[in-house]
Amino acid sequence: MRLALALSILCTLAALGCAGCGRMDGIPPRTEEVVRPEDILDFWTLYHQNCSACHGENGQDGPAMDLANPVYQSLVDDSSLKKWITGGMPGTEMPAFGESAGGFLTERQVDALVAGMRQNWAKSGENLSGIPVYAAVSSGDAKAGEQVYASACESCHNKPGAQITNPTYLALVSDQALRTITIAGRPDLRHPDWQHARQGQPLTDADVTNVVAYLASLRTPTPGQPYPGRP
């Protein structure tokens, strides 16, 4: 009887000992499953980890494009957003985030970012009658663009710190980025959109194409190097 009782106690102690083998003393057991980075699909988590440093905490007030601008969200299509997030935007500081282009985001995560932007920042009811198309369909006329610049842009952009004709600035921005800002504006910087850039008369698609052609003509062919004629 005593032997049976002793064996029962030993078995109980052994079972308790095995139950505690999975963790070290003083460390509570893990109760939450660890999510692998590639399985994160929450928009705000992905946005804050990858986008907010340039585009702002809530899609605005950052150094890069105001993503929360509803005009921008109406202007750009899903395929373009996905293209820029995945492969970056050539001619700008926008890097590639997609795995297929050497980044860390899966295709599902890129899709989650695009869907989250639409859900949080796209608004219906915007008056977009006559809005120029997102991508230019012609090369434009730089001479005509200079006239558009003088009538619609120069009054604000001739101030220190806002001189977009500066070759240093133009070396850091692509034609598409210039076109997008000209059309959608930057509300967070009080930059008007195409409807309000020129008093009393919205910019036409040709106006936007031409002013971008003018600005592109001012770029130096050797950015980051001594400019011709300078020591």
Domain around 182: 136-231
More confident residue, 154 or 29: 154
Question: What CATH number corresponds to the domain at position 161?
Answer: 1.10.760.10
Same-domain check for residues 189 and 217 = yes
Same-domain check for residues 42 and 91 = yes
- The domain boundary, picked from 126, 149, 165, lies at 126
The answer as to whether 62 is a domain residue is yes
How much of the chain is in helix, strand and coil states, percent to nearest 5? 50, 0, 50
Could you tell me the CA-to-CA distances from 204 to 99, 161, 193 in Å, in that order? Answer: 38, 27, 12
Helices 175-184, 205-217: crossing angle, 10 deg rounding: 140
The residue written with tokens 């795995």 in the block is: 99
Are residues 218 and 170 in contact, defined by beta-carbon separation less than 8 angstroms? yes
Same-domain check for residues 117 and 146 = no
pLDDT of the residue at 4: 54
| Residues in CB range of 216: below 8 A, 6 or more apart | 142, 170, 175, 178
Does pTM top 0.85 for this prediction? no
Q: What is the mean pLDDT of the chain?
A: 86
Write out pLDDT tens, residues 5-40.
455 555 554 554 555 555 555 666 666 778 898 899
- The domain boundary, picked from 126, 153, 174, lies at 126
Total domain count for the chain? 2
Fill in the amino acid letter for 220: T
Q: What is the mean pLDDT of residues 46-69?
A: 95
